[in-house]
Amino acid sequence: MKKLINSPANVVRESLEGIALAYADCLRVCFDPSYIIRKDAPIKGKVGVISGGGSGHEPMHGGFVGFGMLDAACPGHIFTSPTPDQMVSAGKAVNGGSGILYIVKNYTGDVMNFDLSAEMLREEEKIEVATVLIDDDVAVKDSLYTAGRRGVGLTVLTEKILGAAAEKRMSLIQLKVLGDSINASGRSMGVALTSCTVPHFGKPSFELAENEIEVGIGIHGEPGCRRVPLASADEVAEMLIEPILNDLPFKIGDNIILFVNGMGGTPLIELYIIFRKVARIAEKHGIKIVRNLIGNYITSLEMAGVSITALRVDDSLVKLWDAPVNTPGIRWGI
């Protein structure tokens, strides 16, 4: 295992210490239990937006804490759910009196621990909590990590849009409704060219032959829907975007935000080639890409691969997408 780490047991803690040192101007990191929080939290009258999940997907979620996006993020160990005490502490810290919104990716551990912590915040702290569950992955139903569809790339777009809406002082119930509608309007799918190696295990999570790719891969390296021979970028783009477009389904005249995401080990130059083909396919279907995001935002350590997310948007969602945001991972308008 070749990694720039000191010991597998300290990867998450030491990376959090690095984040704390690098971004002290806009966020704080708390330990035991660990969470990352906006420096100016709690903000009176604003819903506190919290997400979290296993580490290893950086910059998600900790890199999305800041003005216009998350109030707090709770990092678990690599590919492991955070524990309820993390969300309870984060919830208390960002509580501005208008409730807490959780954005949770649909993995069994995450759902259970966020739910437990919501109960604790409600009962012990009298804080209202609502949850938006993201389950956008069209590749597989039920998998190693979850019942139902997995939550993947749409999470990033949802955090951006709901973060902007919360910044505009949208209420908890409005945010919950908006979040559910975003989840109902977005779909994703990914492919892996290589595995990743979880530091604690020290060897690749799975084996892929030199001429094989895993279509429908999960963000923890869990199986997708099939293995096929290595294909061209154009073929891969088609394998991913067609099931996405057919699933919702997206229709002629739809406006979308298109998100081409690298899994961590894929160079940008390849993501541009994928974007090129997806844009052409979307155009052929009469679907208009009104905004895009291209880069490594929801990763699987050093896995080589790409995921695509399409989100149908109207003008009000585009306005929230364009709203100012200032986080380590996504920054514009400020």
Query: Footprint of a copy of itself on this chain (CB under 8 A)?
Result: 2-7, 11-12, 14-19, 21-22, 55-56, 58-59, 63, 193-194, 210, 213, 230, 232-234, 236, 264-276, 279, 292, 294, 296, 299, 301-302, 304, 306, 326, 328, 331-334
Partner residues linked to 129 by β-bridges: 100
61 included as an active-site residue:
no
Q: CB 264 → a copy of itself: shortest distance, Å?
A: 5
- φ/ψ of 237, rounded to 5, equals -55, -40
- By residue count, the chain amounts to 334
Instruction: Outline where DSSP puts E strands in the chain.
Output: 27-30, 35-38, 48-55, 72-78, 100-105, 129-134, 186-192, 212-215, 226-229, 255-262, 288-295, 305-312, 325-326, 331-332
Q: Which is nearer to a copy of itself, 18 or 97 (CB)?
A: 18
> Residue 333 CB: number of other CB atoms within 10 A?
11
DSSP H or E segment with residue 45? none
CB of 75 to a copy of itself, least distance (A): 10
Residue 171 Cβ vs a copy of itself, minimum distance, rounded to whole Å = 30
The verdict on whether 77 is a catalytic residue reads: no
Residue with tokens 């929230």: 320
In 3D, which of 58, 225, 6 has the Cα closest to residue 137?
Answer: 225
Q: Could you tell me which residues are beta bridge partners of residue 75?
A: 53
Q: Pick between residue 18 and residue 286 the one whose CB is nearest to a copy of itself.
A: 18
Closest CA to 146 of 191, 81, 91: 81
Closest by CA to 257, choosing from 219, 308, 210, is 308
To a copy of itself, the closest distance from the beta carbon of 135 in angstroms equals 25
Q: For residue 260, how many C-alpha atoms fall within 13 Å in the half-sphere facing its CB? A: 23
Which of 123/210 has CB closer to a copy of itself?
210
Q: Kindly report whether the peptide bond that precedes residue 75 is cis, defined as omega within 30 degrees of 0.
A: no
- Least Å distance, CB 55 to a copy of itself, is 7
Which is closer to a copy of itself, CB of 84 or CB of 305?
Answer: 305
Residues 165 and 174: their CA atoms lie apart, in Å, by 9
User: Is the CB of 142 or the CB of 235 nearer to a copy of itself?
Assistant: 235
Residue 195 C-beta: closest distance to a copy of itself, Å:
11
The distance of closest approach from Cβ of residue 145 to a copy of itself in the complex, given in angstroms and rounded to an integer, is 19
Residue 155 contacts residue 171 (beta carbons within 8 Å): no
Q: Which of 61, 77, 220, 285 is catalytic?
A: 220
Our CB check for a copy of itself shows the closer of 249 and 333 to be: 333
Residue with Cβ nearer a copy of itself (308 or 317): 308
- In whole angstroms, what is the distance from residue 238 CA to residue 295 CA? 19
For 32, the token pair is 């035991």
Which phi-psi region, left, alpha or beta, contains residue 151 (left: φ > 0; alpha: ψ -120 to 50)? beta
Which residues carry out catalysis? 57, 220
